[in-house]
Amino acid sequence: MPNGKAKDRFLKPLVADYEELLGRFQQTESVRFEEFTAIWRNMGFSSVFYGSLAGNEMREFCHLTLTMAFNYFLPPYSFQIRVGGLYLLYGLYHTQLASPKEKIRIALKDWEQIQKFYQDSVNSQHYDAVYIIRKLIAENAVLYTAMPQMLTFRVKKKPQHHKVCEEFRDRPERVKDLISTDMLQEVANIQGHHERLKASVLERSSIAVTQQDLPARLHSCVLEFLHWQDRHENHGDADHLVYAEEKAQQVESSNRAQLLASIKTKSYGCLAEASKSRRHRQVEMDTSISGTGYIKEAPKYHKSRAPSLKARTNKNLCGEGDEQKIQYWLLSAAEEDKTALKRQKRKHSFRW
Amino acid sequence: MAAGSSSNVNENIPVFEYKDINTKPFHVGSFRTAWLEKLKPIDYSYEDKYEENEDADFAKEMGIAPETLDELKAICSVDTLRGQAEDEPLDTNVVPPDPTLQTLIQRKKKQDYKGTLRIDKISRVDHYQDELESLAVGKRPEDPADLVPEGEIILSINVLYPAVFERFRYVRPHMTLQMLGSHSLVDLRDAICCISDLQVFGEFSNTPDMAPDFISKDHFKSAFFYFEGVFYNDMRHPECQDMSETTIEWAKTRDFPTFHKAKMEDTRFYDLKVKVGYPYLFCHQGDCEHVVIITDIRLAHKDDCLDRKLYPLLTHKHRVMTRKCAVCHVYIGRWLTTNDPFAPNDPCLFCERCFRMLHYDEKGNKLGQFLAYPYVDPGAFN
């Protein structure tokens, strides 16, 4: 069912739109649904499904929107972004134009995360988030699957992994995960045990191999780190300004470098490679492109690519071959029918 | 140890072996039980949940008053998502002017391009092909005994065509079947239509009327599936041979892990241990090999086709161009002739009527010397 082509085309603009929406939601610093719908209406997000899409494309597009949006509902995003992802799923599910509606796919491996999220929402009394999760499940909007997407073993195409947007990421809790309360408890127990053994074995228990108050010190280290994280986040804005200024200077210098590079490529790049047999005839340079203000872009409509090695070998060694392949099944067709059977070549086909 | 038992539980939860490509192998039946344990039966049932019950449960869980609940429902209703006023009729086929969303900007480009085309038609056959997917959606059976039970697993399986055609280099032509977990592998085998099953073997210029009696499907009935190191052979009929025997013997002499054998008719999908998204093999007619990929495994849903009789359900099938008769160019070719003095080239395709008209007289006598073979067009299943 899934056509890989639809996914490639629609992916980037869709992700850009999502990150715009979630970025604005993040700035409101709230998890209320009203805030979300205000942004939704502002951006006119329901219109993301408008515009007639040919054939099954609408259904595939809806499927893609839901799959992409689901990524924002899972870790490592922060709680606010995950709530935003949930609201996004709810909105997309109800405003989609495919009929019957495309469902939200939940894989077994993500169910634990979702349950934890639900519990957190219940504990923090976020009524709207809880209500929306329950409503989605009650409306049969969910498909319980093995994997979040249908997998067709497309190894040749580089699989596009979902790039985690750094701004939405949750604060790294790695230190807290490493030095958890359970671990501190165990460390204290082991230390106590060690002390007792030492006391029972040696007469002089003044030799101390380990630090006496290890658990307490670990605990204070962790607290210090958390405080530092808090302070660093609040002062992050000031850092950003300085960083932005530096970046602006870098951009200027890189612009100039780009300009120089473009002039160079223009002078050397217009020479087409002449084959060995035609070297005596110099290829003329294309100096029709004006001025220094023109930055050479890769031409989008590349009609005639340089022939590949296989094609060139074929041409050189095997000759032109049968230009006109005898079409056996057309032998008895009249001449005027033959042209009718040929498809008109489109002047230029659509490039997405 | 706690860690040991949790890894046993986790084995039934499918995870990616290679991200976004395929999963590690897992047992289908245990996957189903894992989901059914985690969900309340009402979550995956087909009936609509009553809103009052749902609201009552919610109010009880969160401990909020009915007025708050009403307010909450008003805030979270879907109407808040609609942009403009309701009285303006909205044309959803057209991209709104001055789009700000990136997706719409992209779509507007395509729409403007379409406007410049003189003729814009989608081929009728492609249109029907797209319709095929939604043909059986939401169907309920007349006989309630045929209803797909709640909590049943539906698998989507892609069976690729044998890759012998040159023109299939850039597309992967396949047929997509949907099957229930309680089906056995023989149901899948019977549902796969391959033209090599219809090939007729032999030369029939002297007896053109006897051709249909010798379909390969009836002669060579053996087939096998290969999933995760186990060969499942079709042993229903006495003339079926064990085709996997040679491969297993060969593998023993090389450095391969030992393969096992099982019977196709005894294995249901629930008993299989497979990877989702990983290619496996189906081989029949001795050498006709198809790649089989299980793309999706999920619980049944209200909107699926719920009639057992309609499964295995065909949701997608690639269309193959058919070769027409060289004479009339209207009918599909049924006969292939070689060494034929009447034909313009060697070999040559004819449809039934042109073949008879050209090569046999009114009494049915063979004219001239030629060899004729019945031809099955790859597009026979379109």
The sign one gets for the Cα dihedral A17, A23, A26, A28 is negative
A270 falls in which pLDDT band (50, 70, 90)? very low
Is the CB of residue B113 less than 8 Å away from at least one CB of chain A? Answer: yes
Q: Which of A31, A142, A150 to mutate to test the interface with B (most CBs of B within 10 A)?
A: A150
Cα distance from B243 to chain A (closest Cα, Å)? 27
Q: Which of B296, B301, B323, B353 to mutate to test the interface with A (most CBs of A within 10 A)?
A: B296
Cα distance from A172 to chain B (closest Cα, Å)? 23
Judge whether residue A237 has pLDDT over 50.
no
Give the residue, B29 or A239, on which the prediction is more confident: B29
Count of other CB atoms within 10 angstroms of residue B84: 12
Quote the pLDDT of residue A330. 61
Minimum-distance CB partner of B75 among A54, A111, A128: A128
| Cα separation values, A224 from A173, A175, A179, A303, B259, Å | 14, 11, 13, 63, 58
Q: How far apart are CA A7 and CA B267, in angstroms?
A: 36
The ipTM of this complex is: 0.80
Highest mean pLDDT out of A38-47, A155-164, A243-252, A255-264: A38-47
Quote the pLDDT of residue A340. 56
Highest mean pLDDT out of A36-40, A276-280, B62-66, B115-119: A36-40
Share of chain B above pLDDT 90, in %: 1
Which residue do the tokens 């504990």 mark?
A: A123
Question: What mean pLDDT is predicted for residues B259-277?
Answer: 87
Chain A residue with CA closest to B127: the answer is A55
Give the residue, A48 or A115, on which the prediction is more confident: A115
Is the CB of residue B176 less than 8 Å away from at least one CB of chain A? Answer: yes
| Cα separation values, B86 from A41, A91, B72, B82, Å | 13, 17, 22, 8
**DSSP assignment of B47-86, as one string?**
SPPPHHHHHHHHHHHHT--HHHHHHHHHHHSGGGG--S-T
B31·A146 Cβ contact <8 A = yes
Cα distance from B220 to chain A (closest Cα, Å)? 30
Quote the pLDDT of residue B5. 34
Instruction: Name the DSSP class of A169.
Output: B
Chain B residue with CA closest to A41: the answer is B83
B122 falls in which pLDDT band (50, 70, 90)? low
Is the CB of residue B278 less than 8 Å away from at least one CB of chain A? Answer: yes
Q: Which of B21, B298, B346, B357 to mutate to test the interface with A (most CBs of A within 10 A)?
A: B298
Q: Which amino acid is residue B257, in one-letter code?
A: P
Cα distance from B283 to chain A (closest Cα, Å)? 20
Q: How many contacts, defined by CB atoms under 8 Å, are there between A and B? A: 226
Give A191-226 pLDDT, tens digit per residue: 888 888 888 887 665 666 777 777 788 888 888 888
* Main-chain phi, psi angles of A199, to 5 degrees: -65, -40
Cα distance from A20 to chain B (closest Cα, Å)? 9
8 A C-beta contact, residue B13 and residue B26: yes
Give the closest residue to A126 by CA, choosing from B79, B72, B43.
B72
Judge whether residue A44 has pLDDT over 60.
yes
Quote the pLDDT of residue B304. 82
Chain B residue numbers with beta carbons less than 8 Å from the beta carbon of A345 are: none
Chain A residue numbers with beta carbons less than 8 Å from the beta carbon of B302 are: 140
Quote the pLDDT of residue B66. 74
* Main-chain phi, psi angles of A12, to 5 degrees: -65, -50
Give B293-321 pLDDT, tens digit per residue: 998 888 888 888 888 888 888 888 887 77
Chain A residue with CA closest to B111: the answer is A51
Q: Which of A87, A109, A153 to mutate to test the interface with B (most CBs of B within 10 A)?
A: A153
pTM score, whole prediction: 0.71
Give the closest residue to B267 by CA, choosing from B182, B378, B334.
B182
Q: Is the peptide bond before B312 cis (omega within 30 degrees of 0)?
A: yes
Quote the pLDDT of residue A325. 59
8 A C-beta contact, residue B237 and residue B221: yes
Chain A residue numbers with beta carbons less than 8 Å from the beta carbon of B358 are: none
When the pLDDT of each residue in chain B is averaged and rounded to a whole number, the result is 78
A299 falls in which pLDDT band (50, 70, 90)? very low
Q: How far apart are CA A131 and CA B61, in angstroms?
A: 11
Give the least confident one: A8-12, A29-33, A108-112, B5-9. B5-9
Question: What mean pLDDT is predicted for residues A273-287?
Answer: 49
Question: What mean pLDDT is predicted for residues A151-175?
Answer: 69
Q: Would you kindly state where each structural domain of chain A is located, as residue ranges?
A: 5-169, 176-237
Judge whether residue A341 has pLDDT over 70.
no
A13·B101 Cβ contact <8 A = yes
Minimum-distance CB partner of B81 among A91, A108, A111: A91
Q: Which amino acid is residue B358, in one-letter code?
A: L
Give the closest residue to A293 by CA, choosing from A259, A265, A249, A244.
A259
Quote the pLDDT of residue A217. 83
Quote the pLDDT of residue A267. 63
B303·A103 Cβ contact <8 A = yes
Q: Which of A160, A327, A329, A347 to mutate to test the interface with B (most CBs of B within 10 A)?
A: A329
How many Cα atoms sit within 13 Å of B324 on the Cβ side?
Answer: 11
Q: Any idea how long chain A is? A: 352
Give the closest residue to B224 by CA, choosing from B244, B248, B238.
B244
Cα radius of gyration rounded to whole Å, chain A: 32
Judge whether residue A236 has pLDDT over 60.
no
Q: How far apart are CA B350 and CA B324, in angstroms?
A: 8
Copy the structure tokens of residue A162. Answer: 């979902």
Give the residue, A210 or B245, on which the prediction is more confident: B245
B295·A151 Cβ contact <8 A = yes
Chain B residue numbers with beta carbons less than 8 Å from the beta carbon of A352 are: 106, 109-110
Give A307-325 pLDDT, tens digit per residue: 788 888 887 777 655 555 5
Give the closest residue to A232 by CA, choosing from A171, A312, A294.
A171
Q: Which of B45, B55, B103 to mutate to test the interface with A (most CBs of A within 10 A)?
A: B103
A43 falls in which pLDDT band (50, 70, 90)? confident
Judge whether residue B86 has pLDDT over 60.
no
A74 exposure class (CB count in 10 Å sphere: 0-12, 13-18, 19+)? middle
Chain B residue numbers with beta carbons less than 8 Å from the beta carbon of A146 are: 14, 23, 26, 31, 276, 296-298
Share of chain A above pLDDT 70, in %: 60
Q: How far apart are CA B95 and CA B101, in angstroms?
A: 11
Judge whether residue B18 has pLDDT over 70.
yes
Quote the pLDDT of residue A290. 41
Question: What mean pLDDT is predicted for residues B154-173?
Answer: 74
Q: Any idea how long chain B is? A: 382
B103·A37 Cβ contact <8 A = no
The sign one gets for the Cα dihedral A9, A10, A16, A19 is negative
Highest mean pLDDT out of A56-65, A88-97, B112-121: A88-97
Cα radius of gyration rounded to whole Å, chain B: 28
A153·B21 Cβ contact <8 A = yes
Q: What is the largest CA-CA distance in chain A?
A: 114
Cα distance from B295 to chain A (closest Cα, Å)? 5
Q: How far apart are CA B319 and CA B132, in angstroms?
A: 12
Judge whether residue B111 has pLDDT over 80.
no
8 A C-beta contact, residue B187 and residue B227: no
Give the least confident one: A125-134, A208-217, B91-100. B91-100
Minimum-distance CB partner of A331 among B23, B298, B344: B344
Quote the pLDDT of residue B71. 80
Q: How far apart are CA A41 and CA A67, in angstroms?
A: 22
Is the CB of residue B135 less than 8 Å away from at least one CB of chain A? Answer: no
Chain A residue with CA closest to B103: the answer is A13
Q: How far apart are CA A126 and CA A130, in angstroms?
A: 6
Share of chain A above pLDDT 90, in %: 0
Question: What mean pLDDT is predicted for residues B234-256?
Answer: 80
Give the residue, A71 or A300, on which the prediction is more confident: A71
Judge whether residue A296 has pLDDT over 50.
no
